[in-house]
Amino acid sequence: MKTQPGSSRPPRGRRPAGAQTRDAIAEAARRQFGEQGYRDTTLRSVANEAGVDHRLVLHYFGSKQRLFREAIALPIDPQLLLERIFDTDPDNVARGTATAVMSVLEDPGTRQTALALIRAAASEPEAAELIREVLTERVLAPLTSRVGGDQPQLRANMIATQFVGMAMARYVVRIEPLASASPEQVVAAITPVFEHYLYGDWIVGDASDTSA
């Protein structure tokens, strides 16, 4: 049956506009940014995967940068996660942090978003700047306020390095035997590292002093 002139019916095989269409675009973007990186993901390739006209991507998101921000929206609430970790026995905070890191990375959905962030930051300066803004505001600032001690911002940054390093080594490069180790083994291995970053007497001088 042919579409009559002036009909608003979308082209065959294309999705109509709507909330489900917006979600489909965001999901396609999340997957492509995660697997291909920021540079190689285009508005047209996202539109093709989502089954929409590329103009709908612009309609909903306006630009590649805004689409990226939407796609990298954190799948967890950092504030709630930090409350569960820090509002407990201080002796359990390091292990709770290690367990939280592995929980995020072991879940396929949250891992996809995490890897999208890391790959994009590594491949494109523009994406790295966007990611730095998002992570500083939503993760590192709240974590810094919880860490306490001397130079809490540096301590929070060091905790973040464990997350990024684990994501790359275990799930991207898949170094053995780390890639095949059980989550429980990994948690046991990195808990002392987090204990050191959180409470250890390892900071010398002012981390902001670059004159040396």
What is the distance between the alpha carbons of residues 39 and 32, in angstroms, rounded to a whole number? 10
User: What are 115's two structure tokens?
Assistant: 């890897």
Question: What is the average pLDDT across 128-146?
Answer: 87
Are residues 108 and 56 located together in one domain of the fold?
A: no
What is the distance between the alpha carbons of residues 142 and 136, in angstroms, rounded to a whole number? 9
Are residues 67 and 82 located together in one domain of the fold?
A: no
Phi, psi of 123 (to 5 degrees): -105, -15
Q: What does the H/E/C string look like for 112-131?
A: HHHHHHHHHHHHCHHHHHHH
Mark which of 71, 95, 112 sits at the end of a domain: 71
Reduced to 3 states, what is the DSSP secondary structure of residue 198?
helix
Count CB neighbours of 149 within 10 A: 12
pLDDT band at 153 (very low <50, low <70, confident <90, very high): very high
Are residues 26 and 127 located together in one domain of the fold?
A: no
Are residues 83 and 50 located together in one domain of the fold?
A: no
Are residues 165 and 86 located together in one domain of the fold?
A: yes
Is pLDDT above 90 for 47?
yes
pLDDT value for 48: 96
What is the distance between the alpha carbons of residues 98 and 189, in angstroms, rounded to a whole number? 9
- Here the CATH number for the domain that contains residue 96 is 1.10.357.10
pLDDT value for 138: 84
Are residues 195 and 138 located together in one domain of the fold?
A: yes
Is pLDDT above 70 for 207?
no
State pTM to two decimals.
0.71
The rounded percent of the chain whose pLDDT value lies above 90 is 48
Range of the domain at 59: 19-71
Residue for token digits 């700047």? 129
Q: With b meaning 16 or more CB within 10 Å and e meaning fewer, what string describes 3-15? A: eeeeeeebeeeeb
Of 76 and 24, the structure prediction assigns the larger pLDDT to 24
Can you say whether residue 202 is alpha, beta or left, with left for phi > 0 and alpha for psi between -120 and 50 degrees?
alpha
**212 is a domain residue:** no
Is pLDDT above 50 for 4?
no
User: What are 210's two structure tokens?
Assistant: 């670059």
Are residues 97 and 34 located together in one domain of the fold?
A: no
pLDDT value for 210: 43
**Lowest mean pLDDT: which of 35-39, 98-102, 200-204?**
35-39
pLDDT value for 1: 44
Is pLDDT above 70 for 168?
yes
Q: Which among 72, 42, 75 has a CA at the least distance from the CA of 57?
A: 42
What is the tally of structural domains in the chain? 2
Mark which of 32, 54, 71 sits at the end of a domain: 71
Question: What is the average pLDDT across 60-83?
Answer: 83
pLDDT value for 180: 98
pLDDT value for 211: 41
Question: What is the average pLDDT across 77-87?
Answer: 86
Are residues 150 and 84 located together in one domain of the fold?
A: yes
pLDDT value for 18: 64
**14 is a domain residue:** no
**4 is a domain residue:** no
